Amino acid sequence: MGSYVPNTKQEQQAMLEDIGYGSMDDLFRDIPEEVKLNRELELPAGLSEMEVRKTMEKIAGKNKIYPTIFRGAGAYRHYIPAIVEEVLSKENFRTAYTPYQAEISQGILQSIFEYQTMICDLTGMDVSNASVYDGASAAAEGVAMCREKKRNKALVSATVLPWVLETVRTYCFGNGMELEVIPEKDGTTDLEWLKGHLDQETACVLIQHPNYYGTLEPAEAIGRAAHEAGAKFIMSVNPIVLGILKTPGEYGADVAVGEGQPLGLPLAFGGPYLGFMACTRAMMRKLPGRIVGETKDRNGKTGYVLTLQAREQHIRREKASSNICSNQALCALAVSVYLAAMGNEGLEQAAVSSMSKAHYFAKQLAQAGYRTENPGEFFHEFVTVSETPSEKALRMLEAHDILGGLPLDDHRILWCCTEMNTKAEMDEAVRILKEV
């Protein structure tokens, strides 16, 4: 059987002898015999490169690729400029991991510094970290960084993405924080309930804007209520919407988080994606992960360093309150290239196009019997209600190579439009639904 260990048998033997062992069996002698496998692994025989390729292509052929997509719910199909993949394909960047000897990797550090700068500009916040693993992790870490000695309760809106809520719940269980879910009212956060449950133990309030249903939240009123009670205000935002709407900084948020996937990362089953995090200067030392800073060396040349890692286990040891010692470096680079390529005008155009197409699609769907449920304004997602069973309608669309919205229940569907959807695609979907 082959080995994935890169060193030779001779090198392994030399290492064993150097630490005082004669063989591998001698090294593992403390392991009881009854728990050892004592046989070869039941693995199929090895294949040639050509055979592996054919096998993988056969498996990949089972995937269904939809040319038309009207589904979002946390992962969105936006146009990705060609330069994004061109830059990411360079071998000196093609790694998902930040080198541990960071200061010798000036190019990687500079790319992260540029990413942080862009995220601060995008969110209107003072400081950004180098990214975390995904949007749900970012939200949970945002809640964790608001915890104080006498404030140990988090209020999280029921209108955030379901998996965000579950991730926050898991974090709170692990660190001993109390979690209360703010109920929804007419598709948005119940502001009156929130006001009645804010107290001196409340550490933070987390909302999503736009929320899971695509509706814009009364963010300013929620933030004001949180601050009046002495709590921190966390906003989870879709980064594309920031091309046209007020930033979390303008809403007075203390922490801004979100999923960076819309910014140059393709749709994929499970990612990899990245979570962006930014905060006010006052919250800077509570940010998890890494923060890259710009400096000057002794010769006066610009250099980049890991400036702050205030919560990490490799710095704080047993006092650490986070273990995000790395970041999604490659994904962060994709975001940086995307934002640089799009610029302010490009991001604004993508946001305007997505929003206008969603509103056009909603009006057309209403003519087919799919009434828009959102009572307030929405961005590029909306919920419809119809007498037609959701699964029946979506199966009909799938038969025509169209991935429809996400079924919320038997008669409610969450739809999404981006700049990628054409008028012809929307009209065709409506025509099909009229025949259901």
- Phi and psi at residue 330, in whole multiples of 5°? -65, -40
Question: CATH 3.90.1150.10 spans which residues of the chain?
Answer: 68-79+343-434
Question: Which architecture does CATH list for 68-79+343-434?
Answer: Alpha-Beta Complex (3.90)
Whole-angstrom CA distances from 287 to 145, 210, 233, 238, 324 are 7, 24, 15, 20, 10
User: In CATH, what number does 82-338 get?
Assistant: 3.40.640.10
C-beta of residue 414 within 8 angstroms of C-beta of residue 406: yes
H or E stretch at 123: helix 106-123
Side-chain-side CA neighbours of residue 240 (13 Å): 28
Question: CATH 3.40.640.10 spans which residues of the chain?
Answer: 82-338
d(CA 415, CA 379) in angstroms, rounded, equals 11
pLDDT tens per residue across all 436 residues of the chain: 456 778 888 999 999 999 999 998 899 999 998 998 888 888 888 899 999 999 999 999 998 899 999 999 999 999 999 999 999 998 877 764 555 566 677 888 899 999 999 999 999 999 999 999 899 999 999 999 999 989 999 999 999 999 999 999 999 999 899 999 999 999 999 999 999 999 999 999 999 999 999 999 999 999 999 999 999 999 999 999 999 999 999 999 999 999 999 999 999 877 889 999 999 999 998 998 888 999 998 999 999 988 877 656 566 666 666 666 667 888 999 999 999 999 999 999 999 999 999 999 999 999 999 999 988 899 999 999 999 999 999 999 999 999 999 999 999 999 999 999 999 999 999 999 999 8
Task: Report pTM.
Answer: 0.87
C-beta of residue 353 within 8 angstroms of C-beta of residue 422: no
